[in-house]
Amino acid sequence: MKALFYEKPLRENASICEKPYPQCGEDEVIIKVMSCSICHGVECDHEKAGGSSCSSYPLTPGHEFSGIVQEVGGNVKTVKPGDRVTADNTVPCGICFYCRKGDFIHCPDKRNLGNVADGGFAEYVKVKEGKTIHIPDHVSFNEACLTEPVACCMHSMDQMNIRYGDEVIVLGAGPMGIILAQLAMHSNAKHVVVVASSRKKLDIVKSLGIDTILMDRNDYSKHEQEILKRYPLGADCLFDATGAEELVYTVPRLMKMGGRILGYGYYRGEQPQLRFPFNEFWDKELTYYSSLSQVGDFGRAMDAIAVGKVNTKILISYEYDLENYFQALDKVLYEKDVIKVIVHPNKE
């Protein structure tokens, strides 16, 4: 079968090549991959000398995928060949301290598909039966392959625990920011506003009926003044989905006393460590949450997509065949207004 394969980090060490078709175990399922999405936070890091911090090499990446069941093992009962499915990519070890108490998301030895074990940028991928999620007939493979980022945002929503009447800010209008904004709109929130520097992305947010504020990267005071005009006391909840280190130092002044801030994902700035504004947090009694990933939230995420509470179709900027993977990756790396790029290892 054809697959994307990184012998080690950097493009010169990667290719679209022939790899063996996976062997299906008794409790396993082989999926013919129809759509696999490029994750900016992981796939772009394969292009750095040190590679992705959450991946090991050699590797076939791709943790956001969907497709058709090709083969099932002898013990499999819940899916059959021909079924349309996506799959939770997380594979906790099951025996560590955290797994033994059911806290799978904190397992330090997870072999996540596309990060440690081979993933979906291949014609076929092998998963455990229990990880499969059926795709409703009206949901496309493109929409379904984005169940993974929606599931990660579900975990973030659980962390934040938005209360009835809360006023919510989402910083960033990348895929995660747009998903978080949609989930917040269907939560207990009184009002949600998305702040970002891309007018094109904010137009997509506005088409969903969500308020927006344009950010000037050269003058943060502009969006800060606009936020405080709308929320004179500040916001109750703020999701920072920008990954911009410098914004960490500005958000405390946007918050109400006792406000809650969630940092989604890693910060990518000049400093090896954040100079965290502890004094500002102390003065306002703010709480800072982090959100690692997800484990076991695929069912809720698929439900949100299926009933229209999260529109993943609007996130898709481009589509490519697997043979043109690196052209697809360059779109994500170098075009500011790109949200999601889908790769098709197989054609419908």
Looking at 37-196, list the stretches that DSSP marks H as alpha helix, in order from N- to C-terminal side.
40-43, 97-100, 141-144, 147-160, 175-185
Mean of the per-residue pLDDT values of the chain: 95
Q: Considering only CA atoms, which of 40, 61, 63 is closest in space to residue 332?
A: 40
Q: Considering only CA atoms, which of 241, 164, 151 is closest in space to residue 196?
A: 241
What Cα–Cα distance (Å) separates residue 64 from each residue in 5, 19, 98, 131?
16, 20, 25, 13
**3-class SS at 143?**
helix
Instruction: Please give the structure tokens belonging to residue 303.
Output: 């439900």
Report which DSSP code applies to 117. Answer: B
d(CA 166, CA 163): 6
Query: Is residue 321 within 8 Å of residue 346, measured between CB atoms?
Result: no
276 pLDDT exceeds 90?
no
What pLDDT, on the 0 to 100 scale, is given for residue 209?
A: 97
215 pLDDT exceeds 80?
yes
For the chain, which domains are there? Answer: 2-146+312-344 (3.90.180.10), 151-291 (3.40.50.720)
pLDDT band at 164 (very low <50, low <70, confident <90, very high): very high
> What's the whole-model pTM score?
0.96
Mean pLDDT to the nearest integer, 290-314: 95
d(CA 32, CA 19): 14
Residues 116-149 have pLDDT tens digits of 999 999 999 999 999 999 999 999 999 999 999 9
What stretch of H or E contains 317? strand 316-321
What pLDDT, on the 0 to 100 scale, is given for residue 113?
A: 96
Indicate the pairing of strand 167-171 with strand 235-240. Answer: parallel
pLDDT band at 273 (very low <50, low <70, confident <90, very high): confident
Indicate the residue type of 317. S
d(CA 39, CA 28): 25
Q: Which of 18-22, 46-50, 149-153, 205-209 has the lowest mean pLDDT?
A: 46-50
Mean pLDDT to the nearest integer, 64-75: 98
